[in-house]
Structure 1
Amino acid sequence: MPKRGKKKEEDGELPVEKEVAEPEPKKAKKGGAKAAKEADGPILYEDPPDKLTSSNGKKYTLKVTSWNVDGIRAWVKKKGVEWVSEENPDILCLQETKCAEKQLPADIRDLAEYPHKYWACSEDKEGYSGVALLSKVKPLEVKYGIGEEEHDKEGRVITAEFPSYFLVTSYVPNAGRGLVRLEYRQSWDVAFRSYLKGLAARKPLILCGDLNVAHEEIDLKNPKGNKKNAGFTPEERAGFTKLLEEGFVDTFRHLYPDTAYAYTFWTYMMNARSKNVGWRLDYFVVSKDLQESICDSKIRSTALGSDHCPITLYIAV
C-alpha cells in the first residue's frame, strides 16, 4: 500500500506531525548526558516482559488483543494473521477494517482458531470504518452499535456479552482535519459514555479499540504542536477524562503511570515510526470493579502491518 499521511478527511485521521516539533538537536557539551542521548538516536518503547498475575495474585484467565488494521485486506497481505496466530489471544478485536463481510479475505474469514466471528461495517460508505470481534468462545449475546441511529451507521461498535463480563470494541470517530467533526465527536462521547455506564451497571466491562484521543501530554511525542489538532483537542481529552471519572480505568496508565514514548500510532510520512514520533490512541479501558484484576496491558510496538500497532490485555475475570 502506498505511503500516505492521512486517511479520508471524513474519517478524521490525525494530521502529520509538524516539523517545528522536530527541532535540530543543539550541540551538547562533550561527555554530557544530552550528547550521549542524542548519539543514541530516537527513544523507542521497549515492551517489558508480560506479567501474568494481578497485584492481588490472581493469574490471568483472559487474553484480548486489539488492533486498528487500517484496512483488513492490506493487513492480511502484510502477514497480520500470522502475527495473531503467534500472539494467540482468546479474543481478537479489529478496527478500521474497511471491508464488507462478503469481501473479507479467506485468510481471516476462515481462521479456524476463532470459530465465532462478528463484523460491523458502514451502512453508507464502502471501504470506510468497520470493526470486528473474533472469539475462541461463543459469547452469550452480540450487539452492534450503541442503540442510537445517529451513531450506528458507520460500523464503529460491537459488544459481546460473556458470563462474567462485557467486551466492547470500538473505532471512535475523531474531530477530523480542520476539526470539521468536533461537534459530532463531542456528541458521540456523551452517547458512548452513557452506553458504557449502562453496561457496567450490569456486569464488569472491558472496552478496547482505537479511541482516537491522546489523553495526556505523555501520550504523544509533540503535545505543544498538536493542541488544536484532532485527537488532542481539549474537548476530546476532556471527553476521555469524563469517562474515567464515571468509574473506568485506563489500564496502561494504571500500570505504567510515568512511562513515556509508548505510542500505538505513527503517520506513514516523515519516517515517523522509525523516529518514534507517535500517539497513544489505542486503549484497554475497564470498569473499576476489574481494576485489581488487571495483570498487564501491553503495547506491541514492533508488530508491523498497519500505521497502528496491536495492544494486548491480560486480565483475571
Structure 2
Amino acid sequence: MKIISWNVNGIRACVKKGFLEYFQQENADIFCLQETKLQVGQIELHLEGYEQYWNYATKKGYSGTAVFTKIKPLSVKYGVGDMSEEAEGRILTLEFEQFYLVNVYTPNAKRDLTRLPYRLEWEDDMRSYLKQLDQIKPVIMCGDLNVAHEDIDLKNAKTNRGNSGFTIEERGKMTELLQEGFTDTFRYFYPSTEGAYTWWSYMSKVRERNIGWRIDYFIASNRLQNKLKDSYIHPQTLGSDHCPIILELTDI
C-alpha cells in the first residue's frame, strides 16, 4: 500500500502547478491533502477510481483537508468530538479494515506565539484521540504537524530555538506522543539523515539552498512497524511551499 500526504497550500493553485500530473504519476492508494483553502463547489477534480472526502473550513480560503482513496473506508469522521477545530476543517479520520487513517493539519502557534496555549491543548486532545483509536485498531496519522521535532529536522536549529514550530513545548508534545506507542516513520528508516526537509520559506533562494524544516509526518502505531516498507520525501516536487511525503506498507 502506498499513501501520500501533501500540504498543497491551496489546491486550486497547486492544480495549476502540476498537481494532477504528480497525482497520476504516483498512483497512490490513498492521497491526503492539507491546507486545501476552498469551500464546497470551488473545484471539481475528476479522479477516476478514487473516493473523495473533503473537510472544509468555515472561513473562506483557509485551512481544510481532503482524502482521496481507492479503498472505500468503513467510516469517515470529520473533526474530533467537540473540538472547535472542526470549524477549521483540520481533521479527517477514515476507518479501514486494518487501521485508522487520520489526516491532520495542526494549527500554527503563530510567529508571536499567541496561539501556543491553544496549540498545546490541541496536542493533548489529539494524543488522547489517537490513543483511543489505537485501542481499537492501529493508527496512521499523516499531515502537516507544524513542528520540527529535533535539531536534525531543520537547517538552522540554533537560530530558530524558541520560534513557532520549534519551541520546547511543541517539541515536547511530539516526544510525548511518540512515547505513547507511536513511531515517526521517516526517522524509523533514516534516523541520522540530515537535510531531509518538507517545507521551505518563500524567501529568495531558500528552497534552492535547501534551508528547510521537516514538519510533515507519517506517524504510525508501533505495532505497524513490521508492516512498514519505506517512508520518504519528494523534495523535488514543486507546486507548494511543502513537498509530498510518502509511506509504503506491506501486508496491509
Q: TM-score range by the shorter chain?
A: over 0.9
Q: Secondary structure at the match of 1:243?
A: helix
Q: Report the structure, 1 or 2, having the larger strand content.
A: 2
Matched residue, 1:53: none
Matched residue, 1:120: 55
Distance 2:236 2:8 in 1: 14
Equivalent residues in 2 for 1:295-306 (5 A)? 295-306=229-240
Matched residue, 2:132: 198
Q: Which structure has the larger Rg over C-alpha atoms? A: 1
- Post-superposition offset of 1:100: 0.9
Matched residue, 1:240: 174
State the Cα deviation string for residues 153-181 of structure 1 (Å, max 9, x = none): 11000000011111110000121110110
Matched residue, 1:281: 215
Distance 1:303 1:162 in 2: 29
- Post-superposition offset of 1:148: 2.2
Equivalences, count:
251
Q: Secondary structure at the match of 1:285?
A: strand
Q: Secondary structure at the match of 1:153?
A: helix
Equivalent residues in 2 for 1:55-74 (5 A)? 62-74=1-13
State the Cα deviation string for residues 43-71 of structure 1 (Å, max 9, x = none): xxxxxxxxxxxxxxxxxxx1100000000
Distance 2:87 2:129 in 1: 16
Equivalent residues in 2 for 1:161-240 (5 A)? 161-240=95-174
Q: Percent identity?
A: 54
Matched residue, 2:89: 155
Distance 2:49 2:212 in 1: 32
Q: Which runs of 5+ in 2 are unaligned?
A: none
Q: Which runs of 5+ in 1 are unaligned?
A: 1-61
AA partner of residue 122 (structure 1): A
Q: Secondary structure at the match of 2:229?
A: strand
Q: Secondary structure at the match of 1:238?
A: helix
Distance 1:92 1:206 in 2: 13
- Which residue of 85, 96, 111 maps to 2:47? 111
- Which residue of 226, 230, 233 maps to 1:292? 226
- Post-superposition offset of 1:113: 3.4
Distance 2:179 2:56 in 1: 30
Distance 1:101 1:170 in 2: 19
AA partner of residue 159 (structure 2): G
Matched residue, 2:64: 130
Matched residue, 1:265: 199
Q: Normalising by structure 2, report the TM-score.
A: 0.98
AA partner of residue 88 (structure 1): N
* Segments of 4+ moved more than 4 angstroms: none
Distance 1:86 1:74 in 2: 19
